[in-house]
């Protein structure tokens, strides 16, 4: 059996620790995501989805437990190493696209590659290929403000995939779109993920979208359970 793309073991997270207003959000979360697996993370608002995704994405630290990315344990690693792992192995998609407004769609997908040392020509070709694959071939030269919400979000997927990550983490990636657009954009995301064979953990409130993934997990009282 191949190595897990992402492994979380016994993750605990409490906000306002030691205060009367203490919020114990994660209470021993275990999760193993294998390469090629697309897993839905379903939870009511405030249950701790973003907290869990941020810990898995090395944007925040757990109080206890371990995070392993492609077999590499992250505890005790330097900030520099964590940043490198985040850049090389992880892709993140947010509910709102967070594209750079002054750059075109193509440039938004090119920039993370340049930051990773990829040559401009190669980065351009990869960005164009990614945009083509989500139906945005004709929109490469548009700035975010010249794109619809669904198109902006598709560019954000391409940006998350720019450096060929092994794990994609998405926090309500179609949550701000109307149902029809959400459906189309989500289909583009699934297509992209399936083509590359990477592992994906996708938070959504939408049970119909969740049902189209390989596995569905609910975050309930600080723990993950299969639905």
Ligand X SMILES: Nc1ncnc2c1ncn2[C@@H]1O[C@H](COP(=O)(O)OP(=O)(O)OP(=O)(O)O)[C@@H](O)[C@H]1O
Q: Is 129 in the site for ligand X (CB under 6 A)?
A: no
Q: Is 16 in the site for ligand X (CB under 6 A)?
A: yes
β-strand partners of 68: 7, 73
Binder among 33, 39, 41, 49 for ligand X (CB under 6 A): 49
φ, ψ of residue 19 in degrees (nearest 5):
-95, 165
For the range 173-181, what are the long-range contacts, defined as Cβ-Cβ under 8 Å and sequence gap of 24 or more? 173/93, 173/94, 173/95, 173/202, 173/204, 174/204, 174/206, 174/209, 175/95, 175/204, 175/205, 176/95, 176/96, 176/149, 177/149, 177/150, 177/153, 181/148, 181/149, 181/150
Least CB distance from residue 16 to ligand X, whole Å? 6
Q: Is 197 in the site for ligand X (CB under 6 A)?
A: no
The region of 49-57, 116-124, 134-142, 178-186 touching ligand X under the rule CB under 6 A is: 49-57
Cβ-based nearer residue to ligand X, 44 or 129: 44
Least CB distance from residue 93 to ligand X, whole Å? 14
Contacts of ligand X in 17-46 (CB under 6 A):
23, 25, 43, 45-46
Counting residues that bind ligand X (by CB under 6 A) gives 12
Least CB distance from residue 63 to ligand X, whole Å? 13
Binder among 3, 15, 125, 148 for ligand X (CB under 6 A): 15
Least CB distance from residue 45 to ligand X, whole Å? 3
Cβ-based nearer residue to ligand X, 106 or 168: 168
Residue 111 CA to residue 100 CA, distance in Å, equals 10
Q: Is 162 in the site for ligand X (CB under 6 A)?
A: no
Cβ-based nearer residue to ligand X, 51 or 128: 51
Helix, strand, coil share (%) of the chain residues, nearest 5: 40, 25, 35
> For residues 53 and 171, is the Cβ–Cβ distance under 8 A?
yes
Q: Is 50 in the site for ligand X (CB under 6 A)?
A: yes
> For residues 6 and 203, is the Cβ–Cβ distance under 8 A?
no
Residue 53 CA to residue 2 CA, distance in Å, equals 23
* Residues at the contact surface with ligand X, assessed by CB under 6 A: 15-16, 23, 25, 43, 45-51
């Amino acid at each position: 059996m191949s190595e897990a793309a992402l492994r979380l073991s016994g993750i605990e997270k409490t906000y306002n620790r030691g205060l009367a207003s203490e919020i114990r959000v994660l209470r021993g979360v275990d999760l193993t995501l294998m390469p090629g697996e697309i897993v839905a993370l379903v939870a009511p608002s405030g249950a701790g989805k973003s907290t869990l995704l941020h810990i898995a994405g090395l944007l925040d630290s757990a109080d206890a437990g371990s995070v392993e990315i492609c077999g590499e344990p992250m505890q005790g690693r330097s900030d520099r190493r964590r940043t490198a792992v985040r850049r090389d192995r992880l892709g993140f998609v947010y509910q709102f696209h967070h594209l750079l407004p002054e750059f075109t769609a193509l440039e938004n997908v090119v920039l993370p590659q340049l930051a990773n040392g990829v040559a401009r020509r190669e980065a351009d070709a990869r960005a164009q290929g990614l945009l083509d694959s989500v139906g945005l071939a004709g929109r490469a030269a548009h700035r975010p403000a010249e794109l619809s919400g669904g198109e902006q979000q598709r560019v954000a997927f391409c940006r998350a995939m720019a450096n060929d990550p092994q794990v994609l983490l998405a926090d309500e990636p179609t949550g701000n779109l109307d149902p029809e657009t959400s459906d189309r954009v989500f289909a583009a995301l699934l297509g992209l993920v399936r083509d590359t064979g990477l592992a994906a953990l996708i938070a959504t409130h939408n049970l119909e979208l969740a049902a189209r993934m390989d596995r569905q997990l609910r975050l309930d009282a600080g723990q993950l359970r299969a639905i």
